[in-house]
Chain A
């Protein structure tokens, strides 16, 4: 059974930092691309960042580029999101999800999601 379990959320002051983790099990982690998607309270879904299966290729939404870093440790089956210079509008539930890529394309269909980690940026 595929399981994704986020951790590391919490309350942080504006300008602060936080690192989210997503522990994966039930599938061969090192062969899947991974992504973070967030949802502000009462709002829609916003893609945040993605990383390829080997950790080399990364993409970021403009809203987080230069402040957030996505990474992975395939030896620990864990995905990370390092968040710096946090702002009030980063307040959201952060979900991790996996998806498959072939040499020519990626599905980017998110079949499995974690339960989410709440990040609150407030003074």
Chain B
């Protein structure tokens, strides 16, 4: 199976901050990488697919980059509603795997 890691596991930030989360795959997955946001008690919400394509309806302050094994999710100018947990997911293999998550909370 393809293993996914994320860093950091958690971070504290303030409204207006720029936040960067990194995801790494154990082998090359081309651009088959998706990002999700999850708030407590809710299902995950797709933010970015194919590494860098913004899902319809997602604010443009979210962006994704990377290919191969190393990927980044960036949130420009953090909004109050962005405090949540973020997961990456590889969709390269039929055996989908998720990263362990990055929790973004208030500084």
Contact = CB atoms under 8 A, between A and B. Distances in A.
A109 B87 CA distance: 13
Interface in A62-112: 62, 95, 106-111
Nearest to A116: B43
B68 interface: no
Interface stretch (B19-27, B76-84, B97-105): B97-105
Contacts of A114: 43
B44 A44 contact: no
Interface stretch (A10-18, A19-27, A45-53): A45-53
A61 interface: yes
A95 to B, nearest CB: 6
Given A45-B89, A95-B43, A109 B94 contact: no
B91 to A, nearest CB: 3
A61 B95 contact: yes
Which range holds the interface residue count of chain B? Answer: 20 to 34
A44 B95 contact: no
Contacts of B91: 106-109
A31 interface: no
Contact of A109 (B34, B38, B43, B95): B34
Interface of B: 1, 32, 34, 36, 38, 43-44, 46, 49-50, 55, 87, 89, 91, 94-101
